[in-house]
Amino acid sequence: MNCPAALGRTGETPVPTWSLFSGMIAHLRGKLLAKHPNQAIVEAGGVGYDVNISVPTFSDLPASGSDVSLYIYTHVREDQIALYGFRHSAEKQLFEKLITVSGIGPKLAITILSGMPADEMIAAIRGNDLARLTKIPGVGKKTAERMVLELRDKLPAEKGQEQAAPTALSATEQDVLSALINLGYQRTVAEKAVSSIRNNGSFEALFREALAQLSR
C-alpha cells in the first residue's frame, strides 16, 4: 500500500503519513458494524476501522450494531498500518509480550491467542510444556522454545499459586550455582538442583551431586 505524504513547510522533506500514526490509536469506542472470528469493523467518528482480533475477543463481542470498545495495538510498517483489538487489557498485554519473542509477529501472536486460553498458555510457558505449546497452529518446536526462554520469567504465576521464596544458599552452594550457570544450565533449573542437595560438603562434592541431579 502506497501511503500519501504529509507536507511540511516549503523545502522540508515530506513525512510519510504512516509514520504519524505510530502509537496514536490505543483505544476505540464506537458502533460494531460487522464481526468475524478474526476481524471486527468498528465505526468511530464517522470512520470504519478494520481491526484484527483473536477468537476469544470475537466470542466476547456484542451483536453487530451494538456499541463496543476495544483496546488497540497499532502496528506500523513502511507500507501498512494494522490495528489489533482486544476486549480486555490483559489480553493486549499478553499480545505485546508475545510479539517481543523472536520470530513472532502480530499475526502469529493473534493466532497463538486464538489457539489456547490465556491461562493455559501462561501455565505451559512457565512449565516448559513444549508439547502443549506446539499444538497451537503455527507454533513449531523452535518457536515454543523461544516462547519459554524469553517469556517464562515475564509472565505472572497462576492465580492462587504464589512462588515460594527461595531458600538462602551458602557461599559454597552459590559457587556451585554459578558454575552450573556458566556451563549453560538455566538458573531456575540449577537452583532447584542445588537446593535439593542441601549438605555441607566441599565444592567438588556438591558440584558432582548437582550434576547427577541434572542428568536424571
pLDDT tens per residue, range 64-87: 999 999 999 998 877 788 999 999
Query: Are residue 44 and residue 97 in the same domain, yes or no?
Result: no
Query: Which of 216, 213, 211 minimizes the C-alpha distance to 183?
Result: 211
What's the pLDDT tens digit per position in 178-205? 787 777 777 777 777 787 776 667 777 8
Is residue 81 situated within a structural domain?
yes
Query: Are residue 22 and residue 76 in the same domain, yes or no?
Result: yes
- The pTM score is 0.62
Give the count of domains, the chain.
Answer: 3
Q: Which residues contact 89 (CB under 8 A, 6 or more apart)?
A: 71
Domain final residue, candidates 51, 86, 121: 86
Query: Which of 87, 96, 88 minimizes the C-alpha distance to 68?
Result: 87
Query: Are residue 120 and residue 77 in the same domain, yes or no?
Result: no
- The residue segments making up the domain with residue 48 are 5-86
Q: What mean pLDDT do residues 110-127 have?
A: 89
Say if residues 64 and 11 touch (Cβ distance below 8 Å): no
Query: Are residue 134 and residue 77 in the same domain, yes or no?
Result: no
Highest mean pLDDT among 130-139, 173-182, 194-203: 130-139
